[in-house]
């Protein structure tokens, strides 16, 4: 065999060997994008920080209810007890108290609270309880009072719903937002005018209110048997 043929065979072998040697590099290069996809898929996204829990305070309550009442198109609340249900219609031109009552109803605050004060032929008062859950709900919603709004021309007729004033450090008769009372007196309890804020009236189920007012009471006008508001709901 001539030297030229031997040289040609050696050259072809070298080229073939080099080509085989390069093939893993090509495979590795083609795998690179897949490695990136896997890395991306395995990336754990950090959870967003939880939004700070909103709580009503003396400083923000008025601004909050001013904004809240802007878009309110509802003005009725139905309350259900073991004696039946009654419906309260809220006055539109007592905006803070109306907004407060709707807000608390939607938050489920009144559910399982009680009519904790019953004064014969005078009022029934609700929104409080000796149950720990009620205190916890108040704590979650916030601590605040509402200013009185007594100059809208409403009087304490029978069936009117009004807001009692807070008993703690309250020379300006600020209203306790978690409680309300309903006048049972016929034709009304007008000595309350000017001191408390009427913000609605019972338009259905006054017989249920009267039945609650007839229940026996003990010390401090607390009913002898608990009278629960089983459910309070906004009438849409």
Same domain, 10 and 118: no
Same domain, 146 and 207: yes
Same domain, 85 and 142: yes
- Long-range pairs for 61-67: beta carbons < 8 A, 24 or more residues apart: 61/142, 61/144, 61/145, 61/146, 61/177, 62/96, 62/146, 62/147, 65/95, 65/96, 65/99, 65/100, 65/103, 65/146, 66/95, 66/96
Q: Is residue 54 a part of any domain in this protein?
A: no
Same domain, 132 and 190: yes
Same domain, 24 and 89: no
Tell the burial category of 119 from Cβ atoms under 10 Å away from its Cβ (0-12, 13-18, 19+): middle
Q: Is residue 56 a part of any domain in this protein?
A: no
Q: Which domain holds residue 10?
A: 1-42
What is the number of other CB atoms lying within 10 angstroms of the CB of residue 170? 12
Whether the CB-CB separation of 86 and 202 falls below 8 Å is answered with yes
Same domain, 152 and 191: yes
Same domain, 34 and 66: no
Same domain, 122 and 178: yes
List strands edge to edge, sheet with 76-81.
228-229, 113-119, 123-128, 180-183, 160-163, 197-204, 84-90, 76-81, 231-234
Tokens at 187, concatenated: 């034709």
Task: Please enumerate in sequence order all residues whose Cβ is within 8 A of that of 23, keeping only pairs 6 or more positions apart, or say none.
Answer: none
Cis peptide before 187 (omega within 30 of 0): yes
Same domain, 16 and 107: no
- Spans in the chain with pLDDT lower than 70: 1-51, 166-173
Q: Give the pLDDT score at 168.
A: 57
Beta strands (DSSP E) in the chain are 76-81, 84-90, 113-119, 123-128, 160-163, 180-183, 197-204, 228-229, 231-234
Same domain, 186 and 115: yes
Q: Is residue 192 a part of any domain in this protein?
A: yes
What is the number of other CB atoms lying within 10 angstroms of the CB of residue 42? 7
For the four alpha carbons of 33, 37, 38 and 42, in that order, the dihedral sign comes to positive
Q: Is residue 91 a part of any domain in this protein?
A: yes
Q: Is residue 47 a part of any domain in this protein?
A: no
Q: Is residue 177 a part of any domain in this protein?
A: yes
Q: How many whole angstroms separate alpha carbon 115 and alpha carbon 118?
A: 7
Count of domains forming the chain: 2
Q: Is residue 147 a part of any domain in this protein?
A: yes
Same domain, 67 and 33: no
Same domain, 99 and 166: yes
CATH (domain of 104): 2.40.100.10
Q: How many whole angstroms separate alpha carbon 109 and alpha carbon 111?
A: 6
Q: Is residue 18 a part of any domain in this protein?
A: yes
Q: Give the pLDDT score at 200.
A: 98
């Amino acid at each position: 065999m001539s030297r030229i043929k031997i040289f040609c065979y050696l050259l072809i072998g070298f080229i073939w060997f080099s080509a085989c040697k390069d093939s893993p590099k090509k495979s590795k290069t083609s795998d690179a994008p897949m490695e990136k996809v896997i890395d991306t898929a395995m990336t754990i996204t950090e959870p967003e920080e939880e939004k700070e829990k909103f709580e009503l305070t003396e400083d923000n309550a008025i601004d909050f209810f001013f904004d809240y009442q802007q878009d309110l198109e509802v003005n009725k609340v139905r309350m259900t007890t073991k004696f039946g249900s009654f419906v309260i219609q809220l006055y539109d031109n007592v905006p803070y108290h109306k907004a407060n009552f709707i807000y608390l109803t939607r938050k489920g605050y009144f559910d399982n609270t009680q009519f904790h004060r019953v004064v014969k032929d005078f009022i029934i008062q609700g929104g409080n309880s000796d149950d720990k859950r009620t205190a916890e709900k108040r704590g979650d919603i916030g601590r605040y009072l509402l200013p009185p709004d007594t100059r809208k021309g409403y009087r304490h007729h029978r069936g009117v719903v009004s807001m009692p004033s807070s008993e703690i450090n309250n020379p300006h008769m600020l209203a306790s937002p978690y409680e309300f009372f309903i006048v049972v007196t016929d034709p009304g309890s007008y000595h309350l005018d000017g001191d408390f804020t009427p913000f609605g009236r019972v338009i259905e189920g006054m017989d249920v209110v009267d039945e609650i007012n007839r229940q026996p009471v003990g010390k401090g006008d607390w009913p002898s048997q608990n009278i629960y508001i089983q459910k309070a709901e906004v009438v849409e």
